[in-house]
Structures are given as C-alpha cells and as structure tokens.
Amino acid sequence: MIRWFRRKKEDAPAEEPPVEREEAAEVPEGEEEPAGRDAVEMCEDEKGRETAETDAPAGQGELEEAPPEETMESAGEIPEESAEEAEKGAQRGRFFSRLRERLHRSRERLADRVDRLVLGKKTIDADVMDDLEEILITSDLGVQATQLLLERVSDRVKRKELQDPGRLREALREEIARILSVDAPPFDPAAAKPFVIMVIGVNGVGKTTTIGKLAHRIKASGLSPLLVAGDTFRAAAIEQLERWGERIDVPVIRQKSGADPSAVAFDALDAAQARKADVVIVDTAGRMHTKVNLMEELKKVHRVIQKKMPTAPHEILLVLDATTGQNAISQARLFREAMNITGLILTKLDGTAKGGVIVPICHELKLPVRFIGIGEGMDDLRPFDPREFAEALL
C-alpha cells in the first residue's frame, strides 16, 4: 500500500502535496520506542520473549506486500546508442530527485529559510549570521555542527571568498558535504574472504531489512553473500531474515530461537568456509531490555568471530533510523562506547524530514555513512554520497 502510494507519487509531478511522507512514516507506535531510554527500562527479561514479539517489527507483512522491485526504475524509453550511459544518468537523476523530494521538509525548513534570510540582503553581516545560527540549530543539525558551520562560513566571509548573500546556501551545502565526507577506508567486501560484516542497532531501526538489501547489492556485484540469523531473541526475527534469503536467493544460517547468537556466528563462519561464501553478514538483536546485556552479547559475538578469523569482523555497521531524529545521536554514542563501529547506515530517509541529524553524528563520531535506506524494497539501499546528500538537504 505504502509502496504503491510512493511509486505513484514518483511518477507524478513534483508539486503534488507531500502526503506520502506521513504515510511512509507510519510505523507502529512501539517502533520508535527503542530509541528512548524508557524503552530500556520497559522491556522484559529473557523469559518475556514471546511477548516481546509484539513491540518489535517483524516486517514480514511489508515483505509480502512489496511488489517486484525490478520495475521500479524501468520507466521511459532510452535511445539505443548510449543506452547504458543514459540509463545510468537517468537513474541517478531520478534517485536524486527522489531523495531530494523525500528530504523535502528538511529542505523547506533549511533551504527556504536560508533563502528567506538572505532575500534583499546586501552583505553577510552579524545579523545574518545570528539568524542563520537560529535556523541551523532549530533544524536537526544540532548545536555543535551548527557552530562549526558558522565558523566555516564566517571564515569564508572574512577571507572575502564569500560576500554575496545569494551564495550563502551553496557555501553551507559545501561545508555540510565536507562534514559528511568522513575520512575512512572504502567499503570493500572483496577485501577479505570471507568478508565479515556485523550489523548492529536497536530494535526497529531496519537492521534485518538493510541486511536483505545489502546482500542483494553484494550479490549483484558478483560476490556470494551468506546471512546469519544472529537475532535469536525472537523466532519472528529469524523468519524475517529467512524470508529475505528466499527473496534474494541467498543462504541463511540459523539456529533455533533462543540459541546463543555467538554460537550461531561461530557455525556460520564454518559454513561460509565450506560454501566458499565471499561475504558473511551477521544480523544481531537490538532489544534494549538492559543496555549492558545487549552490549555484552554483541561483544561476545564479536569475540567469537575474531577468534575464528582474527581479521574479522571487517565491518561493524551501526544502523540508525533517520525518523528518530536526535535519538539517533544518543544511540550512536551508546553503541560507539561498546563497539568499534566502522560505518553507519541511515535508514527510512523516505519517511522523514530528519535526515539532517546525520550531520552532527558524522561531525561528533567521525564515522562514515556507508549506505542510506530509502524504502523497504530490495533496491532501496544506496551508497552514501556526501555531496548529493548535502544538496538534497539544502
């Protein structure tokens, strides 16, 4: 339903009212809970497994409902000669306008407000900078990132590189892209065999869905992935991963619900060797019944993987749900304390105007964003491009 709505909208002219965002953001009430500290206290202990199933999203309905993705980008005729190039360009353009549209409300807040700010102004003076500060802080950019942006803009003004208020937005965009361009080794699943990826994050952020999408990408690149059902807390979570495995035709290593996740990971690495898998992607639990337990469990999985393969895990990806806004920052800090995170994945950018929250996260934690999730379909995961993102935001 939601996808159908969204697809329709993509084909429709841009001026259509932004109803879809509300629709897409329509996640069960409980889903945003894990983000807050309350959820930490609220959840039950290990014995409450069955009841816990109701507040965590299984996502199976969504999997069943989602129509085939192959048709998604195939509209429009492309001339023969440079078909491939043209298609690439067109896809990029379509994706860009979609991302832009999806971040529309941030844009309204940010871009339009910045435009209004500079309207009729002759210079970028202290008053403009004061108003700019307010605009940036009241968007999701946060205090620290705002200060940094203001400093950089002021520097440019002082150096006389930036004088025309009409170019203020462009300058901000460039500086945002700079913050988002965190220096890090590239994401390269061909760098080891098997290349082991641990995917972590609180319940409901989109870990399992992202794993399905990521495995699909990796498979399309010619490598053979293997999925590991390490969220053994709920039977539904294991089944959800299995459904993804079936859907994208990728094997899933699982044990019974309730099994020790580190034992599942251990077995999976054996299986990866036996099957000559190139990439192993480990799903993990995200229940925050006590944050200590979760972190200890993740560390244990990490230890076991490392014992089996000293260079692994090669990537530890933290998944953050963009719709949770500022909560994503506290989650990032929390996981960062416990785990040596190598990259971030920002999900649900199709359902929110809060994508700007990634700016303070990148600034504070200096972690690269590896991918962004823009929907529930298997093709809705994209490599992160700082410039493109900054442009979509502002």
Ligand X SMILES: Nc1nc2c(ncn2[C@@H]2O[C@H](COP(=O)(O)OP(=O)(O)O)[C@@H](O)[C@H]2O)c(=O)[nH]1
Find the part of the chain contacting ligand X (CB under 6 A) among 10-18, 54-62, 183-191, 250-258.
Answer: 54-62
Residue 173 engages ligand X in binding (rule: CB under 6 A): no
Tell me the closest approach of the beta carbon of residue 56 to ligand X, in angstroms. 6
Residue 331 engages Mg ion in binding (rule: CB under 5 A): no
* Nearest Cα residue to 318 out of 301, 332, 305: 332
Backbone angles phi and psi of 161, in degrees to 5: -80, -25
Backbone angles phi and psi of 147, in degrees to 5: -60, -45
Tell me the closest approach of the beta carbon of residue 153 to ligand X, in angstroms. 32
Among 142, 165, 194, 206, binds ligand X (CB under 6 A): 206
* Nearest Cα residue to 200 out of 240, 241, 231, 226: 231
Question: Among ligand X, Mg ion, none, what binds residue 107 when CB lies within 5 to 8 Å by partner kind?
Answer: none
Torsion of CA 342, 347, 352, 357, to 10 degrees: -10
* Nearest Cα residue to 372 out of 242, 213, 233, 153: 213
DSSP 323: G
Find the part of the chain contacting ligand X (CB under 6 A) among 145-153, 154-162, 187-195, 201-209.
Answer: 201-209
Question: Among Mg ion, ligand X, none, what binds residue 204 when CB lies within 5 to 8 Å by partner kind?
Answer: ligand X
DSSP 309: S
- Applying the rule CB under 6 A, the residues between 82 and 141 that interact with ligand X are none
In angstroms, the CA 50 to CA 144 distance is 42
Residue 342 engages Mg ion in binding (rule: CB under 5 A): no
* Nearest Cα residue to 381 out of 389, 390, 372: 372
* Nearest Cα residue to 56 out of 212, 229, 202, 243: 202
Tell me the closest approach of the beta carbon of residue 14 to ligand X, in angstroms. 20
Find the part of the chain contacting Mg ion (CB under 5 A) among 1-9, 41-49, 202-210, 221-229.
Answer: 202-210
Among 348, 354, 363, 382, binds ligand X (CB under 6 A): 348
Residue 20 engages ligand X in binding (rule: CB under 6 A): no
Q: Give, in degrees to the nearest 5, the angle at Cα 301 between 237 and 185.
A: 100
Tell me the closest approach of the beta carbon of residue 336 to ligand X, in angstroms. 17
Residue 208 engages Mg ion in binding (rule: CB under 5 A): yes
Residue 386 engages ligand X in binding (rule: CB under 6 A): no
Q: CB under 8 Å to 358, separation ≥6 — which residues? A: 180, 320, 322, 328, 344, 346, 369, 389
Find the part of the chain contacting ligand X (CB under 6 A) among 144-152, 155-163, 306-314, 348-356.
Answer: 348-356
- Applying the rule CB under 6 A, the residues between 229 and 248 that interact with ligand X are 240
Residues that bind ligand X (CB under 6 A): 24, 56-57, 59, 62, 201, 203-209, 240, 286, 347-348, 350-351, 373-376, 380
Residues that bind Mg ion (CB under 5 A): 207-208, 231, 237
